[in-house]
Amino acid sequence: MQTISSCAFLLVCVIFLLLSENAKIAAAAAGNNGVYIVYMGSASRTDFLRLLTSVNRRNGNAVVRTYKHGFTGFAARLSEQEAHAMRQRPGVVSVFPDPILKLHTTHSWDFLVSQTSVKIDSAPKSEPPTSSSQPSDTIIGILDTGIWPESESFRDEGMPPIPSRWKGTCMAGDDFTSSNCNRKIIGARFYESSESDGIRFHSPRDGAGHGTHVASTAAGSAVANASYYGLAAGTAKGGSPGSRIAMYRVCMADGCHGSSILAAFDDAINDGVDVLSLSLGTPYFYKPELATDPIAIGAFHAVEKGITVVCSAGNDGPTPGSVVNDAPWILTVAASTIDRDFESDVVLGNKKVIKGEGINFSALESSPVYPLIHGKSANKSSTSEDSARICSEGSMDEALVKGKIVICESSEEGGGSYWQGQAETVESLGGVGIVLIDDQAKLVAEKFTSPITAISSKDGDEVLAYVHSSRNPVATILPTLTVINYKPAPAIAYFSSRGPNPAVLNMIKPDISAPGVNILAAWLGNDTNSTPQPENSPLFNVISGTSMSCPHVSGVVAMVKSQNPTWSPSAIKSAIMTTAIQTNNLESPMTLDTGSVATPYDYGAGEISTTEALKPGLVYETSTTDYLIYLCGRGYNRSTIKSISNTVPDGFDCPKDSNADYISNMNYPTIAVSELKGSESKKIVRTVTNVGGDGATVYKVSVDAPGEVDVKVIPEKLEFSKNNQKQSYKVVFTSTVSTLKKEAFGSITWSNGKHRVRSPFVVTSESSKSED
């Protein structure tokens, strides 16, 4: 899982953060006989078998996995010298150490529906929609930690027979048999090596909870009266309740191995999935080349086969340029908040109520009768006030803490694991509760087993002022309540990874945002480790991360695919991006959680719409040639590209002067231009396809441009005479200032009075140079 401040309430952190990220990467590359991935792209079967045979001849146990359905290659134990020699063999695109990737860790759907400008019909809340009332022909493949099949979210009542095109399987293993699959969970596979240890189940069964949560968010059947110990109560349902689920368990105790991820892609392509959802990725600082990134490789070949691939953007925000899974053939998802809050208030002795955040089931008195002390005021004489201020272990005097509520401030380390450490420290000294001053903790509802609440630094100043001004400061912490219609929402979560695109400035990433904060979804049926009442573990859990936003988009992709089965992955992506929303429930521009106005570097095209994506009017179809030109712009030559792709058109070659401007001219739903300086102009061309079903229709353009850039669209009207007709237009960007600031944002919107098709753009004077 990606390290975020909500790490504490994600049990998987205990499993997946056993090693530091650098140690993981180093371990993957270290030593003789380590596992290497030999990626051969579209190599001939002859070259593939010849190389595979030579490895097997040397050591019959060397080959760990083979890839043969969507692409060719294998993973094998090789020495560094053997790996180097392998790179020179015919048909080999790349050879690289098997990397270990990490996970990027319901009312959210009701909120998304309420955010659309289009009124839709919905079943009464007392009668939630059933799977049988939803399209059931789409199959969502999920690469994650496995699945808990007994969850009510995966029941299959009323679902028709499994589509005949499905070729997958239901693998048996520990506590998992073929009978655990049904008409909802139609496939389940797991991938392990002979050295796998520390795994709870050697099967597709989920031992962490993450995969179950993700799967139910994307395609869970409607379950009434779902909650987390009474919080977030309501009907839990997936984005596409009628879709089928195929689980590919690729994550083990030490993380998610690239060789397993590629094997899952290879199997999923052959099995017949329509959508692939991956809530995982490389650490943002790792930045592998495209040809050594398992997700980029697998996704490229899946998209070639007509499968839409949706990936989380990562949880390394708010660091600029931290977005991962940034290839153009991937639909990359940022995380936003919803209008539900988990409020746990602090009541001070002066009757002032301070709004807090967090999930706790406090049994303290509702009246402020407990002594309140600042951590630094309880420091031992042998420790510094700074250590006690953040409630570090061993820093405070037990006699001063016992029976009191302690105010703990944030640490630079931050994160859920640190907050839990603060809680354990105060509890061990006899403290009855904690008021945690931390702006990050204030935004994500951490789960605490004792009375703890998180407040903002601004409110923290008020609490500390009360403590310092009172002779006998007292307080209490109230148990958590669920607050609905919280405003403003959505807002981009602080942990959500940001643009600009670290690979190339001439393409905006992430692509879209979706709910990823405090999401309720299915969980393990016997989780006794991460809940405040282990003897009564919940069947649903509340967690946060771009891991949670990704399946929201996967569910919408499945719905769009079901209603438009012939659409390509790029058409589906375009439909979702051009109908996105940029305002919140205050009808103001979306913001960051800090209150600053968000930009496309934060949310891509905006917040996903569950309904408008079904009728986008126009779509931008990104062709194979566009992706090949992108590879040219990233430094790959024609020979290597032909080795990668099975669909290189005859006569294709990279432009002699391949540069970032060619990437800007990919037929992508968003536009990014770099190196615009002085009074220079740059021309961008786009082509749209009329899919609105209106036949003859006319679209007119409107431009929202920043003052530093003059934007002209030619022509200003697009006239279509029939459905599926294509029309092109060009956009000329001209700087109106001598020195353009770092980046300037705007948008181009086409409308025929019925459909609104919006493309955000960013213009920068900076140079876009490939990292490869």
Active site residues: 144, 210, 547
Adjacent-strand bridge partners of 673: 763
Q: How many CB atoms lie within 10 A of CB 158?
A: 14
Q: Which residue has the tokens 């919905």?
A: 122
Which residue type is seen at 559? M
d(CA 594, CA 664): 31
Which residue type is seen at 107? H
What DSSP letter does each residue of 724-769 carry, written as one string?
Answer: T-EEEEEEEEEE-SSS--S-EEEEEEEE-SS-EEEEEEEE-SS---
d(CA 91, CA 94): 9
Distance of CA 391 to the CA centre of its chain: 32
The answer to whether the CB of 725 falls within 8 A of the CB of 740 is no
Is 77 strand, coil or helix?
Answer: strand
**Pairing mode, if any, of strands 540-543 and 519-522?**
antiparallel
The answer to whether the CB of 521 falls within 8 A of the CB of 220 is yes
What DSSP letter does each residue of 692-718 carry, written as one string?
Answer: SS-SSEEEEEEEE--TTEEEEEESSEE
DSSP 628: H
Q: Three-state SS string across 131-160, please?
A: HHHCCCCCEEEEEECCECCCCHHHCCCCCC
**Pairing mode, if any, of strands 591-592 and 491-492?**
parallel
State both tokens at 303. 């998209």
Contact residues for 642 (Cβ-Cβ < 8 A; gap 6+): 42, 648
The answer to whether the CB of 452 falls within 8 A of the CB of 439 is no
State both tokens at 359. 């999930």
Dmax over CA atoms of the chain, in Å, equals: 84
**Pairing mode, if any, of strands 244-249 and 185-190?**
parallel
Which residue type is seen at 194? S
Q: Would you state the torsion angle of the CA atoms of residues 213, 216, 217, 222, taken in this order, to the nearest 10 degrees?
A: -140
